[in-house]
Amino acid sequence: MNIPPQAPLHLLHRMSEGTLATHSREPRGFPYPTALPFAPTARHVPMLLISHLAEHTRNLHADARAGFLVAHPADGGVLDGQRLTMLGSFAPASPEEGAELARRYLRYHPDAARYLELGDFSFWVMSVERMRYIGGFSAMGWLAGEELDALPPVSAADESSLWEYFDAFASRPENLRLLGVDRYGCDLLLTGTRNRFTFDYPKQTNEELKAALKDCFERQRDISQR
């Protein structure tokens, strides 16, 4: 096993859709895969916004165990790209968690606001037990769920401060949107294209995060001006 540090984490943040595999109720026992949009939580695990009436939601109520696959195909096809299979269980978010999850999810998927208005949709969050990462030749192996991230997440107060810093940063590109920021990188939308900016090392303090964001914005500005 030769997995680059935080490679599974960065892959999760780079993708907007994945495949959820639940245990079918009828016909009983079969895997039931379905493609879904998702967003990473502050702890880098998938959160889903799903309907109470959906077959996969009913399956999760009967058996919370599930798999979740994200893949980033390369030019040569899906087998040449990165893949991450996560095994664990999903649970509905509490009402207290729901408001914060909604704010975060809508940054990544603003069109999902119409689903929240229906009242039939709720957030489910994955607890990861095991992961299988494949990143190319000789870069593959199994990891425990806790290996996804050993650092504490960015606090709500620090995140709010970072968003204020983003809004006040005059030299950032006008068409740049900040979707999320964590200790390892930030998720961006530039001219409609989703991207992940990886920091050179994990940022432990708010000041380090601001400096990393400034570097990111300046690089994105240079790219947009070419």
pLDDT band at 223 (very low <50, low <70, confident <90, very high): low
pTM of the model: 0.92
Q: Which architecture does CATH list for 7-148?
A: Roll (2.30)
Residue 226 has pLDDT above 70, yes or no: no
The pLDDT of 20-29, averaged and rounded, is 94
Q: What angle do CA 221, 222, 226 make, to 5 degrees?
A: 115
Task: Give the lowest-confidence range in 7-16, 168-177, 184-193.
Answer: 168-177
Q: How many CB atoms lie within 10 A of CB 1?
A: 9
Residue 47: C-alpha distances to residues 12, 112, 126 (Å) = 11, 13, 6
More confident residue, 210 or 167: 210
Q: How far apart are CA 73 and CA 194, in angstroms?
A: 15
Compute the mean pLDDT over every residue in the chain, rounded to the nearest whole number: 91
Tally the C-alpha atoms within 13 A of residue 52's C-alpha that lie toward its C-beta: 6
pLDDT band at 167 (very low <50, low <70, confident <90, very high): confident
**Residue pair 38/46 in contact by the 8 Å Cβ criterion:** yes
Q: What are phi and psi of 95, to 5 degrees?
A: -55, -35
> Cα 133 vs. chain centroid, distance in angstroms?
15
Domain 156-224, CATH class in plain words: alpha beta
Which amino acid, one-letter code, is at 218?
A: E
Strands (E), the chain: 17-23, 31-37, 39-40, 46-51, 65-74, 77-92, 121-134, 140-144, 176-181, 185-190, 193-198
Radius of gyration of the chain from Cα atoms?
18
pLDDT tens sequence across 98-129: 888 999 999 999 999 999 888 899 999 999 99
The pLDDT of 140-160, averaged and rounded, is 91
pLDDT band at 172 (very low <50, low <70, confident <90, very high): confident
Domain boundaries, the chain: 7-148, 156-224
Structure tokens at 93: 């978010």
pLDDT tens sequence across 50-96: 999 999 999 999 999 999 999 998 776 888 889 999 999 999 999 88
